[in-house]
Structure 1
Amino acid sequence: MPGGKQPRDEFSLIARYLKELDRGPAVVVGNGDDGAVLRLDAHEELVVSVDSMLEGVHFPFDSPPSELAYRAVAAATSDLAAMGARPLGMTLALTIPEADDAWLRELRLGLSDAVGDFSLPLVGGDLTRGSLTLSVQVMGAVPAGGAIRRDGARPGDRVCVSGPLGDAAAGLALIEGRVAGDGPANTALREHFWRPMPALDLGISLRGKATAAVDVSDGLLADLGHIAEASKVCVIVDSSQLPISEAVNSIASGEQALAWALGGGEDYCLGFTLPESHELPPGSCVIGRVEEGAGVRCDAADAVDGYRHF
Structure 2
Amino acid sequence: MGEFDLIARYFTRPARRVALGVGDDCALLAPAPGMQLAVSSDMLIEGRHFFADVDPEALGHKALAVNLSDLAACGARPLAFTLALALPAADERWLQGFAGGLLALADAHQCELIGGDTTAGPLTICITIFGEVPAGDTLRRSGAQPGDDLWVSGAPGQARLALGALRGEWQLPAGVLAQLRPRLERPTPRVALGLQLRGLASSALDVSDGLLGDLGHILRASGVGACVDVDAASAPLRVSTAPWSTQMSALTQDDWLHCALAGGDDYELLFTAPPARRAQVQAAAQRSATAVTRIGAITAERGLRLVDGQGAPVAGRFASFDHFAPAR
* TM-score for the superposition, normalised by structure 2: 0.87
Structure 2 matches for 1:76-115, cutoff 5 A?
76-115=67-106
Which residue of structure 2 lines up, in the alignment, with residue 271 of structure 1? 270
- 2:310 is aligned to none
Q: Distance in 1 between matches of 2:57 and 2:272?
A: 35
Match for 1:171: what amino acid? Answer: A
- Give me the whole-angstrom Cα distance separating, in 2, the residues matched to 1:182 and 1:72: 28
Q: 1:160 aligns to what?
A: 151
Hey, what does 1:304 align to over in structure 2? 318
Match of 2:117 among 117, 126, 134: 126
State the identity %.
Answer: 41
In the alignment, the residues of structure 1 paired with residue 43 and residue 50 of structure 2 have an alpha-carbon distance, to the nearest angstrom, of: 11
Structure 2 CA distance, aligned partners of 1:80 and 1:136?
13
Q: Is the CA contact (8 Å cut-off) linking 1:225 and 1:235 kept in structure 2?
A: no
Q: Which residue in 2 is equivalent to 1:70?
A: 61
Partner of 2:6: 13
Partner in structure 2 of residue 28 of structure 1: 19
Q: Give the residue type in structure 1 aligned to 2:100.
A: L
Are 1:294 and 2:302 counterparts? yes
1:169 aligns with 2:168: no
Shift of 1:175: 3.0
Q: Structure 2 counterpart of 1:94, which letter? A: L
Deviation at 1:245, TM superposition (A): 4.0
Give the residue type in structure 2 aligned to 1:259: H
Unaligned runs of 5+ residues in structure 1 are 1-7
Q: Is the 8 A contact 2:224 2:302 kept in 1?
A: yes
After the TM superposition, which residues 191-230 of structure 1 pair with which residues of structure 2 at under 5 Å, given as runs? 191-230=182-221
Aligned counterparts of 1:186 and 1:59: Cα–Cα separation in 2: 17
Contact 2:87-2:124 at 8 Å conserved across structures = yes
Q: Which residue of 1 aligns with 2:128?
A: 137
TM-score, L = length of structure 1: 0.92
Q: Which structure's residues are more often helix, by fraction?
A: 2
Measured after TM superposition, the shift of residue 23 of structure 1 is 4.8
Whether the aligned pair in 2 keeps the contact of 1:174 and 1:190 (CA below 8 Å) is no
Cα deviation code 1:67-109 (max 9, x no counterpart): 1111111111100000000000111111111111111111111
Shift of 1:302: 1.6
Contact persistence 1:91–1:137 (CA under 8 A):
yes
Q: Distance in 2 between matches of 1:222 and 1:304?
A: 8
| 1:247 positional shift | 4.3
Give the C-alpha shift of residue 257 in structure 1: 1.5
The answer for the alignment partner of 1:259 in structure 2 is: 258
How far has the Cα of 1:222 moved from its partner? 0.7
State the alpha-carbon separation in 2 of the partners of residues 174 and 27 from structure 1: 43
Give 1:276 deviation, angstroms: 1.2
SS at match of 1:186: helix
Displacement, 1:288?
A: 0.5
Matched positions, count: 301
User: What are the Cα deviations for residues 18-69 of structure 1, in whole angstroms up to 9, with x where unaligned?
Assistant: 112x654x32211111121222111000000000011111111222211111
Letter in 2 for 1:13: L
Secondary structure of 1:262's aligned partner: helix
1: CA distance, partners of 2:304 / 2:29:
39
8 A Cα contact 1:170 1:248, kept in partner: no
**Partners of 1:177 and 1:87 in 2: CA distance:** 37
Q: SS of the counterpart of 1:28?
A: coil
CA deviations 1:145-198 (Å, max 9, x no partner) are: 110000000001001001111001112223334333344322110111111111
The separation in 2 between residues aligned to 1:164 and 1:142, in whole angstroms, is: 27
Give me the CA root mean square deviation.
Answer: 1.6
Contact 1:248 1:257 in 2 (8 A): no
